[in-house]
Amino acid sequence: MLDEKRLQILTESAKYDVSCSSSGSNRKNLGGLGNANLGGICHSFTSDGRCISLLKILMSNDCLYDCLYCVNRRTNDIERATATPDEICELVMGFYKRNYIEGLFLSSAVFSTPNQTMQKLFETVYKLRTVYNFHGYIHLKGIPNADKELIDEAAKYVDRMSFNIELPSEKSLKLLAPQKDKNGIIKPMTALQKEKFIRSENKKGKFIPAGQTTQMIVGATSETDGIILNLTSALYKNVGLKRVYYSSYVPTNFETSLLPYNQVSLLREHRLYQADWLLRFYGFTVDELCKKEENLAEEFDPKCAWALKNLGLFPLEVNSAPVELLIRVPGIGLKGAYKIREARKFTKLTFEDLKKMRIVLKRARHFITCSGKFFGEEKEGRIRKLLLQLEQNDNATQLSLFDKNEVILSTITGEF
């Protein structure tokens, strides 16, 4: 049985993996313990406001690599621990039964060759499914440069797999993670996606039903938001990823001049998540939001910044504008646009109606008309000033940065 001390070491080392989502799979309980819930379930929330859905743990934090940004790097003087496959299985069963968790997120430091490390991870999930008869959610981290056969074999038993991009360019990877290379990360992602496609064509049984995700560290290196979002967009389009996670660099290494000494602003990470959301659900392209050499505006959210650049497209009439355009109005989200579309079938909507429907109008009013009536400001300079004030009020405390915005909320809770 795993003791408390080792649990602490192995989970503390795992917490910088941001992904906590348990969604995207509808695995059934085949007579043992557990099943998966398509929308995902959050079981608790820690005081950083993140959700606990999965038991996030490393098999070992005893790493041979020396990635400068990573807390588990070989040259870092921290306590090391390793757990056995059975210890992890017992822990998952005990936690799951008590409804503490939705499943397992298993990762590991590379404590031996990539293949031997991947083999141990595979052994654990294989045992959990076949010996312990566990059918809850499993997210397994892939080890870069492990053999394809080994990765494919593991993919048959888990719901989601992820290889972390870590840094947004090959140059940065070479600089900070010399033992890793782009190919070792992108190749298995692409191969997995291909394999998943072939298997689903031939109906060959479950194979990462919840797909793949990845994560990159923001602010440790010099890439612009434009570069990051282009990479993101390519990962969604070409590799078929379900989610890209961004994590603001938190300093864990003060011995190198290659990394910033201070924590990177959470606002930047926040803006990236907002832009990511617009790419996936609102039909925006990267070019509309951010040029390659630019960063996203800090003073406005990306949708607002886009609308200000395209004032000529507005105002839109809420009683007739198509939904694809309504969702581009600052302050009107997918839910708001849906409510408008349904309600206007009954009656012509007025400004008062929108208020009653709890559509937030402080931003939207400059971009819409209701039955021909306009309630916003005419002059661009004035609109800009008012929107800026709103954004500053919203950001007045770092805290409300998160609670004013549905976008970031959902990304953190992992319900998507």
Partner 1 sequence: MLYYKIENSVDGILSAIFESFLKKEYPDNLVFGGFEVSIFDTLKEIKVDEERVKRVKSALNKYNQFALEKISYAFRYGEDIKLKIIFDFAYITIDKKKNLLKMFNNPIILAFNDIVDRISLERHRFLGFVRFIETDKGILYSHISPDHDISDLLFSHFKNRLNTPFIIHDTKRDKVVLFNGNDKQIVYTKKLPTLYLHENEEYFSELFKRYFDSVNIKERKNTKLQDRYMPRRYRKNLTEFKTKKPL
Answer yes or no whether residue 100 interacts with partner 1 by CB under 8 A: yes
Site for partner 1 contains 339 (CB under 8 A): yes
Using CB under 8 A, pick the residue from 299, 324, 342, 380 that binds partner 1.
Answer: 342
Q: Which region, judged by CB under 8 A, interacts with partner 1, from 6-14, 114-122, 153-161, 279-287?
A: 6-14
Contact flag: residue 311 with partner 1 (CB under 8 A) = no
- Which residue among 34, 85, 330, 414 contacts partner 1 (CB under 8 A)? 34
State the distance between the two ends of the chain, measured CA to CA, in whole angstroms. Answer: 34
Does 109 participate in binding partner 1 (rule CB under 8 A)?
no
CA distance 410 to 285: 21
CA 119, CA 403: separation in Å to the nearest integer?
42
Identify which of residues 32 and 376 has a Cβ nearer to partner 1 in the complex: 32
* Smallest distance, partner 1 to C-beta of residue 294, A: 26
Whole-number Å distance between alpha carbons of 155 and 160: 8
DSSP state of 303: H
Question: Does 264 interact with partner 1 (rule: CB under 8 A)?
Answer: no
In the list 21, 23, 25, 51, the residue contacting partner 1 (rule: CB under 8 A) is 51
Q: Does 38 bind partner 1 (CB under 8 A)?
A: no
Stretch of 25-33, 149-157, 166-174, 175-183 lying at the interface with partner 1 (CB under 8 A): 25-33
Angle at 13 between CA 401 and CA 177, to 5 degrees: 90
Q: How far apart are CA 258 and CA 213, in angstroms?
A: 27
Residue 127 exposed, middle or buried by CB count within 10 Å (0-12, 13-18, 19+): middle
Is-contact 59 88, C-beta < 8 A? yes
- Among 64, 334, 343, 390, contact with partner 1 (rule: CB under 8 A): 343
Cα(45)–Cα(52) distance, integer angstroms: 6
User: Considering only CA atoms, which of 372, 375, 348 is closest in space to residue 361?
Assistant: 375
Q: Which residues bind partner 1 (CB under 8 A)?
A: 1-2, 4-5, 7-8, 11-12, 14-16, 28-29, 31-35, 37, 41-53, 55-56, 91, 94-95, 97-100, 102, 136, 250, 263, 266, 339, 342-343, 345-347, 349, 353-354, 356-357, 398-400, 402-403, 409, 412-413
